[in-house]
Amino acid sequence: MKQYRVKLGVKLSLKQYDPDETGEYKKSAQGKNRAKAETAKLIAKLDGLQERLYANATRSLLIVLQGMDTSGKDGTIKGVMSGVNPQGCKVVAFKAPSDHELGHDFLWRVHREVPRRGQIGIFNRSHYEDVLITRVHGWVSDKVAKRRFNQIKEFEELLTENGTAILKFFLHISKDEQKERLQARIADPEKRWKWSSGDLEERKLWDDYQKAFEDVISATSTICAPWYIVPANRKWYRNLVVADRVVNALEDMKLKTPPAPEGVDFAKLKIV
């Protein structure tokens, strides 16, 4: 799944990534079932890896999820992380900043929420909104946005140098797929509570958003905090790609069972 990693130093073009692609899995019930079985295996692995991460409490993992409305940020969390022990997993959904938060620089509220050592932290939206929605609507100038690209890079470097691995996922859906998903929300009375008329307004800005994503992803793809463009039209393939990368990142840490406390003679210990 490494293939979805954004290359460094090249301007990203989202058009070159097919949101419908499913890799070696056929777009059929059979392909879907194979992918789901593979994902289940990865999730089972995740369980043990997360336990080790938590036990050692020396490293942490930060997962950033971004994408257009309906791209499946919530669904990815549910689909990939629902088996994980919630004690070692912290999800933060960033909404519009409060007045209190706006009284600080844009990374302030984000820094407070990064995972502690031993934790997997998941950002459902993130500091990237501060160069996406803000930029598309012209709330910040291009000059400020570009300065923020650098600030983000340096912030993420700080985190990785201090033991946090970072994975950033752009959940890539097509404009048609978004249309279908929004229409499903309208058609099903059980789903209508999810409806927000703002989504329609944002959809009109589709091209601007794609461009803003291309800009910031190009500028903030680094070795230590890579971006992945995840084909997300098929939920089952999206989950497989994300699960694969999360397992890979944890395996890369090569964590072992933590050492026993020093100075204890276990052979002589007696409990009465």
Q: Does 78 bind its own copies (CB under 8 A)?
A: yes
Report residue 252 CA to chain centroid gap.
Answer: 18
Q: Does 96 bind its own copies (CB under 8 A)?
A: no
Q: x/- site string to its own copies, residues 4 to 43, per CB under 8 A?
A: ----------------------------------------
Residue with Cβ nearer its own copies (10 or 264): 264
Angle (deg, nearest 10), helices 73-81 and 235-252:
60
Among 13, 28, 85, 141, binds its own copies (CB under 8 A): 85
Alpha helices for the chain (secondary structure H): 29-56, 73-81, 99-102, 108-111, 133-136, 142-161, 175-187, 197-204, 206-220, 235-252
Q: Are the CB atoms for 136 and 205 separated by under 8 Å? A: yes
Q: Does 90 bind its own copies (CB under 8 A)?
A: yes
**Helix/strand/coil (H/E/C) assignment for every residue in 91-114:** EEECCCCCHHHHCCCCCHHHHCCC
Per the listing, tokens 């295996």 go with 41
Report 130-189 residues binding its own copies (CB under 8 A).
179, 182-183, 186, 189
Among 30, 33, 58, 87, binds its own copies (CB under 8 A): 87
Q: Does 205 bind its own copies (CB under 8 A)?
A: no
Among 2, 15, 16, 86, binds its own copies (CB under 8 A): 86
Question: What whole-number distance in Å separates Cα of residue 215 and Cα of residue 208?
Answer: 11
Burial 124-152 (b: 16+ CB within 10 A, else e): bbbbbbbbbbbbbeeebeeeebbebeebb
> What is the helix (H) or strand (E) element at residue 170, kind and residue range?
strand 164-172
Closest separation between CB of residue 128 and its own copies, Å? 18
Closest separation between CB of residue 18 and its own copies, Å? 22
| Torsion sign across C-alpha atoms 94, 98, 104, 109 | negative
Interacting span for its own copies (CB under 8 A) from 10-18, 74-82, 143-151, 245-253: 74-82
Closest separation between CB of residue 271 and its own copies, Å? 5
Q: Does 58 bind its own copies (CB under 8 A)?
A: no
Q: Are the CB atoms for 88 and 119 separated by under 8 Å? A: yes
Closest separation between CB of residue 139 and its own copies, Å? 24
Q: Does 259 bind its own copies (CB under 8 A)?
A: yes
Among 37, 141, 142, 195, binds its own copies (CB under 8 A): 195
Among 93, 102, 158, 224, binds its own copies (CB under 8 A): 93
Question: What whole-number distance in Å separates Cα of residue 165 and Cα of residue 175?
Answer: 31
Site residues (CB under 8 A) for its own copies?
A: 47, 55, 74, 77-78, 81-87, 89-91, 93, 122, 124, 179, 182-183, 186, 189-190, 192-193, 195-197, 200, 203, 257-261, 264, 266, 269, 271
